[in-house]
Structure 1
């Protein structure tokens, strides 16, 4: 039997399928909770509409060369996934390589929290931007 994280990744093949698994009040955190004008992918999105906006932003910024899910584990309330990817950044034509991790929470069959982690330094280098100096990080 597949776990909820595996089902969520399978549902991503169809935008409607993924949205059906997003709770109306779900919190989707794209790397950092705060958004930045220099890198609009960062930020917090809400609910199925927010998830649709997040996925559209991914497609606008990246031409995905590889997205690999290496490990998943979940119970009925939370799940984790880890893998790696390579994206070509459309604006710079640079490759962005990173390992990634996802932490997710569920209520029933619906995702209520999606928090994605990746190599932010590599992302910013590939995009040619800097969003925060070391002095700003507490």
Structure 2
């Protein structure tokens, strides 16, 4: 009797997990409060490093980033479950929703640029400042 061949089964399991994971946005939390946000699939750039603590300390309301829109109204409130960005924003735009990369850039970079206009401390706006190698 020969040992079982796990190669094909392992490939199938990895493929299914990759397909299921493509609808979500993987994050890796750390004890320091920083998250590594990497879009599913082959990324053009390294993941983005993000800290909830830094944003909370700056007085950014949760609803500024987390959202569940109906029309132009954000119905999401602090304490409600948070969906991963990839649940609504996919690799391509659909049904009036931005694709994931555009959604991130508008959300993050847009807010940081608006902060700069007020002459208050602001987050990064250049590719290399957000997409850092670990």
Do the two structures share a fold, i.e. TM-score over 0.5? no
Larger fraction in strand: 1
Larger fraction in helix: 2
- TM-score range (shorter-chain normalised) is under 0.3
Indicate the structure whose relative CO is greater, using CA pairs within 8 Å and at least 6 residues apart. Answer: 1
Q: Which has the larger radius of gyration?
A: 2
